[in-house]
A and B are shown apart, each in its own frame.
Chain A
Amino acid sequence: MSLISWGMYPKIKNQKFSLRDTKSLHEYIDNTSEFIPFGNGRSYGDSAINENILYCKNYNNFLEFDEQNGILTCQAGVLLSEIVDSVVKRGWFLKVTPGTKLITVGGAIASDVHGKNHHIEGCFSESVEEFTIMLPNGDTKVCKKGDELFYATCGGMGLTGVILSAKLSLKKINSQFIKQTTIKTKNLKETFEAFENHKEMPYSVAWIDCLAKDEELGKCLLMVGDFADDGNLEYRSKMKLGIPFNFPSFALNKLTVKAFNWLYYAKAKDGISKQKVGIDTFFYPLDAIGNWNRIYGKGGFTQYQFILPKEHSYEGLKEILTKISASGKGSFLAVLKLYGKENKNYLSFPIEGYSLALDFKIEDGLFELLSALDEVVVKFGGRIYLTKDVRVSKETFEKGYPQIEKFREYRRENNMDKKLHSLQSKRVQI
């Protein structure tokens, strides 16, 4: 049974080795010509896919929890969902969490993931006090902020070594609920204004209707929120529904996506409304449907996520949304987000500006459309998120990531480029 990523594309035959202890890992590294670590398979493209895969999810012990100060140490295969299950009851939460909790700690570091509070708290690496990593030569290193290895590894797509464990600092909470405000906007201009007006709120994200045209272009539901303060910490993870098989490929088309977006948008009241919602509803809405990736059919899908510097965001987004809307290619989800300052990591995705993420079913003509979007992204000084990517060209990638040469050199110096590769790293020649 070969491992695939969340996008179910590409599908290649691979050999998996399960990480269970450092001794057998050392032997594996010595005896394997080239491999890539793999967490829970939630990156969308080919960033954790290769012929040899190191499967890290079984390396998942909790090691220590300082309940007074909210410092958790655990092995890299632990899922964020397991951390949430364990710590919310005790009044703590992840400082930074992406829109799914079904990723490993190792994966969160390698992708340097971010969440709805990037404009306040930054990336996942901001919550990493230190981590241990096994390097390609078999040495185990403890690594802290300030070390070059830290800046290379956080966001380094698993290409510097095998992350073994991490010490994470958590955020104090006093409720399992979030006070949410939903703002319904009529066009892109209103959407931007709404983000600016609410940027002091710790969490914010907008769902955009990509098929809206002309004067409705960029209309959205912006959801902002913060933890409540009611002392209720009786958290229980929600039971999930499942999608047991791949939908036939015609199930998702322009009409069904339009209907979905319309329903979603129509559901919200006009103007501003307030709700109190649980952690799972607010942070992880899609985790409630197991294997939702199957709705795109067995041919798979990809997520196109780019970010543009703030000064060009409005112009660039308008151009891109117009192109997408004109193409009629269905995007089930389009998520818009305002980001704060970029960090020092070589390959972390966020820069100060706006990012848009859209899902596309893999089909004829898609990659041509995405290449055309790439040109707009490059023109405005933006970049593509590697964790979501399955097709970006070396040129587009390099233009977006000015520190890439430093990263390449660091890998060469430490012989990391001899052992660690994914299909993606080979495509864009990291």
Chain B
Amino acid sequence: MSYVLIIGAKSDIAKEVARTYAKNGYNLYLAARESESLGDLKQDIEVRSGVKVELKEFDITAYDTHEDFYTKLEEKPLGVIVVSGYMTEQKTAQKNWNETLNTINVNYTGAVSILNIVANDFESHRRGFIVGVSSVAGDRGRKANYIYGSAKAAFSTYLSGLRNRLYECGVQVLTVKPGFVNTKMTENLDLPEKLTAQPQDIAEDIFNAQQKGRNILYTKSIWMLIMLVIKHIPEFIFKKMSI
């Protein structure tokens, strides 16, 4: 069975995405920094689903290693899913340039670096799928979260262009825009229950959307409506708002 490469495999969403693809018979490359810490997850998935799981050391901001990383994959993956993300408090990021830079690099620059390489490979073989986990935060800049949001916006725009380019050769590109998600990162936030998804649900949504060949996925789907409204608020009103 084909391999799926998951970039940024340490997050709660990535863990459930990995389990979901494995449940459906795919072998996995799990790529992350300090990938040996994913040993428990590797064991879990192998026992659960009886597929092969390989851990791969990968640093999304070490751009010059990406070509080598991809070349060395013994069997090239059928699909690549980029889940990497870095979010810090907006107030921290706006005062600390390194935080800002890291936000941009993890969410955008690094993702572009590895996906350029993947795209060229998939294009030449005229097959494959690419899934990029962006965010609803990229749909409009808000004072509460615009440094992270703008990096995700750039990533969404990149994926849109990539989809346009790869359409001709039959390679699917899916942009995923999660809203609130219950994860380690958000454990102590008081998120509204109806708008908050579990990582398991996001993973199922991603798998189903990818299998159906979809282009853009909002998850939970209610976020499509919310963002539609937010995107259409005139700027002269929006600039006065706190949302």
Report if A and B associate in a common complex: yes
**A85-B187 contact given A62-B48, A64-B47, CB 8 Å threshold:** no
CB closest chain-A residue, reference B25: A89
Q: Do B44 and A61 touch across chains, with their CB atoms under 8 A apart?
A: yes
In the assembled complex, the Cα of A297 lies from the Cα of B49 at a distance in Å of: 39
| Interface presence of B23 (CB below 8 A) | yes
| Interface presence of B191 (CB below 8 A) | yes
Partner of A1, one of B43, B184, B190: B190
Q: Please give, as numbers and ranges, the residues of chain A lying within 8 Å of B235 by CB-CB distance.
A: none
| Interface presence of A86 (CB below 8 A) | yes
Q: Do B190 and A65 touch across chains, with their CB atoms under 8 A apart?
A: no
CB distance from B46 to the nearest CB of A (A): 8
In the assembled complex, the Cα of A244 lies from the Cα of B44 at a distance in Å of: 32
Q: Do A63 and B43 touch across chains, with their CB atoms under 8 A apart?
A: yes
- Select the residue from A18, A20, A64 with max chain B CB neighbours within 10 A: A18
| Interface presence of B168 (CB below 8 A) | no
| Interface presence of A130 (CB below 8 A) | no
Q: Do A61 and B43 touch across chains, with their CB atoms under 8 A apart?
A: yes
Q: Do A86 and B49 touch across chains, with their CB atoms under 8 A apart?
A: yes
Q: Please give, as numbers and ranges, the residues of chain B lying within 8 Å of A82 by CB-CB distance.
A: 48
Q: Please give, as numbers and ranges, the residues of chain B lying within 8 Å of A64 by CB-CB distance.
A: 47
In the assembled complex, the Cα of A86 lies from the Cα of B49 at a distance in Å of: 6
Q: Please give, as numbers and ranges, the residues of chain B lying within 8 Å of A90 by CB-CB distance.
A: 50
CB distance from A293 to the nearest CB of B (A): 14
**A85-B190 contact given A61-B43, A61-B44, A64-B47, CB 8 Å threshold:** no
Partner of B41, one of A58, A61, A65: A61
CB distance from B55 to the nearest CB of A (A): 15
| Interface presence of B40 (CB below 8 A) | yes
Q: Please give, as numbers and ranges, the residues of chain B lying within 8 Å of A1 by CB-CB distance.
A: 190-193, 196
Q: Please give, as numbers and ranges, the residues of chain A lying within 8 Å of B187 by CB-CB distance.
A: 16, 18
In the assembled complex, the Cα of A75 lies from the Cα of B12 at a distance in Å of: 17
Q: Do B190 and A62 touch across chains, with their CB atoms under 8 A apart?
A: no
In the assembled complex, the Cα of A164 lies from the Cα of B60 at a distance in Å of: 34
Q: Please give, as numbers and ranges, the residues of chain B lying within 8 Å of A58 by CB-CB distance.
A: 12
Q: Please give, as numbers and ranges, the residues of chain B lying within 8 Å of A85 by CB-CB distance.
A: 23
How many A-B residue pairs have C-beta atoms within 8 angstroms? Tell me: 32
Within 8 A of A (CB), among B30-44: 40-41, 43-44
Encode B60-82 as 1/0 by CB contact (under 8 A) with A: 00000000000000000000000
* A contacts, CB < 8 Å to B: 1, 16, 18, 20, 58, 61-65, 82, 85-86, 90
Sampled A-B contacts (17; CB under 8 Å): A1-B190, A1-B192, A1-B193, A1-B196, A16-B187, A18-B187, A20-B184, A61-B41, A62-B44, A62-B45, A62-B48, A63-B43, A63-B47, A64-B47, A86-B47, A86-B48, A86-B49
- Select the residue from B41, B43, B48, B190 with max chain A CB neighbours within 10 A: B48
Q: Please give, as numbers and ranges, the residues of chain A lying within 8 Å of B12 by CB-CB distance.
A: 58
CB closest chain-B residue, reference A85: B23
Q: Please give, as numbers and ranges, the residues of chain A lying within 8 Å of B50 by CB-CB distance.
A: 90
Q: Please give, as numbers and ranges, the residues of chain A lying within 8 Å of B44 by CB-CB distance.
A: 61-63
Encode B3-44 as 1/0 by CB contact (under 8 A) with A: 000000000100000000001000000000000000011011
- Select the residue from B47, B49, B196 with max chain A CB neighbours within 10 A: B47
Q: Please give, as numbers and ranges, the residues of chain A lying within 8 Å of B49 by CB-CB distance.
A: 86
In the assembled complex, the Cα of A82 lies from the Cα of B191 at a distance in Å of: 26
In the assembled complex, the Cα of A321 lies from the Cα of B41 at a distance in Å of: 50
Closest 6 CB pairs of A and B: A61-B44, A62-B47, A62-B48, A86-B48, A62-B44, A65-B47
Q: Please give, as numbers and ranges, the residues of chain A lying within 8 Å of B40 by CB-CB distance.
A: 61
In the assembled complex, the Cα of A62 lies from the Cα of B41 at a distance in Å of: 9
Instruction: Kindly list 6 other residue pairs between chains A and B, CB separation below 8 angstroms, not including A63-B43, A86-B49.
Output: A18-B184, A58-B12, A62-B47, A63-B44, A63-B47, A86-B48
Q: Please give, as numbers and ranges, the residues of chain A lying within 8 Å of B45 by CB-CB distance.
A: 62
CB distance from B34 to the nearest CB of A (A): 16
CB distance from A116 to the nearest CB of B (A): 26
Encode B108-136 as 1/0 by CB contact (under 8 A) with A: 00000000000000000000000000000
Q: Please give, as numbers and ranges, the residues of chain B lying within 8 Å of A16 by CB-CB distance.
A: 187
CB distance from B19 to the nearest CB of A (A): 8
- Select the residue from B12, B44, B49 with max chain A CB neighbours within 10 A: B44
Q: Please give, as numbers and ranges, the residues of chain B lying within 8 Å of A86 by CB-CB distance.
A: 23, 47-49
CB distance from B114 to the nearest CB of A (A): 28
CB distance from A4 to the nearest CB of B (A): 10
In the assembled complex, the Cα of A20 lies from the Cα of B183 at a distance in Å of: 12
CB distance from A60 to the nearest CB of B (A): 8
CB closest chain-B residue, reference A244: B194
CB distance from A233 to the nearest CB of B (A): 13
In the assembled complex, the Cα of A69 lies from the Cα of B191 at a distance in Å of: 44
CB distance from B51 to the nearest CB of A (A): 11
Q: Please give, as numbers and ranges, the residues of chain B lying within 8 Å of A18 by CB-CB distance.
A: 184, 187
In the assembled complex, the Cα of A92 lies from the Cα of B45 at a distance in Å of: 18
Q: Please give, as numbers and ranges, the residues of chain A lying within 8 Å of B191 by CB-CB distance.
A: 1
CB closest chain-A residue, reference B222: A244
CB closest chain-B residue, reference A65: B47
CB distance from A80 to the nearest CB of B (A): 14
In the assembled complex, the Cα of A20 lies from the Cα of B10 at a distance in Å of: 14
- Select the residue from B41, B43, B191 with max chain A CB neighbours within 10 A: B43
